[in-house]
Amino acid sequence: MGCNLARVIGESRGNVVLRRKQYRIAEDERASAAVARNFVIGKLYNQKWMLERMTRDYPQRIDIEKFKTVSGQLSTAMQEARECEDLELLRGLEGSAAYSYFRLFDEMILQQKEEFEFRGRSRRPPLDKVNAMLSLAYTLLANDVASALEGVGLDAYVGFLHRDRPGRASLALDVMEELRGVYADKFVLTMINKRLVGPDDFWQKENGAVLMRDEARKNFLSAWQSKKQEKITHPYLGEAISWGLVPHAQALLLSRYLRGDLDEYPPFLWK
């Protein structure tokens, strides 16, 4: 997933009560599903928003019927997720929706189409320029989310949707699901469509892996930092915050849910 990047975090608050609650829920499949389904719903909702935005803004440049079909599939998947109490079924819904969404991703690339052709997700290693950027953006987002979770006293390595795996920040991956489309994917599409990155910014290793050149990666990271400064209105809190604070807002909302201050975890539903 791109280069390995360090995370700068402050001293963990070590909220023992909060973490014990987190661990108890993580051991309970039904309780985990109650949290996990909102991560999935958030992801599906925001992917649907991405598709509907394309049909509204670029009706002459995409296959509208295909976009409407997948948008309908995402709506159905959201309804199923709301009633789902089984983690494996939730993971299946998320995986199926991601496959359908990424089948349309190439059509969302409006500029430099020949140079940035996208045929599907490839991760380790990324096998084309678009996947190289997606992997780097997801790495950056995962690090930001993990830092936010640890900042409110949660354990970023114990998740509800993603199973525990040595060295994997499972809870960070959980929370970032709802932010992938409207934060990371949209950022990558903007970089391509505004020609902030070009085909010469990449090179290919002997094993087929495609990587960004050093200068291009610096520009990518600089643009990411600029993106984090952009102001938005948080859809749940109704307050003006920067994109960079969205992971912290979601981490705080998750901690409030786990403490019992909220009836359910409110996912980030972009509008």
Binding residues: 94, 162, 177
Secondary structure of the chain: what % helix, strand, coil (to 5)?
Answer: 60, 5, 35
Helices (H) then strands (E): counts for the chain: 9, 4
* Binding positions for Mn(2+): 94, 162, 177
CA distances from 233 to 57, 92, 188, 225 (A): 21, 32, 21, 18
Cβ pair 95, 87 in contact under 8 A: no
Burial of 182 (0-12, 13-18, 19+ CB in 10 A): buried
CA distances from 82 to 34, 78, 93, 160, 264 (A): 9, 6, 11, 16, 12
Cβ pair 51, 190 in contact under 8 A: no
Residue entry with tokens 């102001």: 231
Question: What is the C-alpha to C-alpha distance for residues 114 and 215, in angstroms, rounded to an integer?
Answer: 22
Cβ pair 13, 153 in contact under 8 A: yes
CA distances from 80 to 40, 91, 192 (A): 11, 12, 34
**DSSP label at 182?**
I
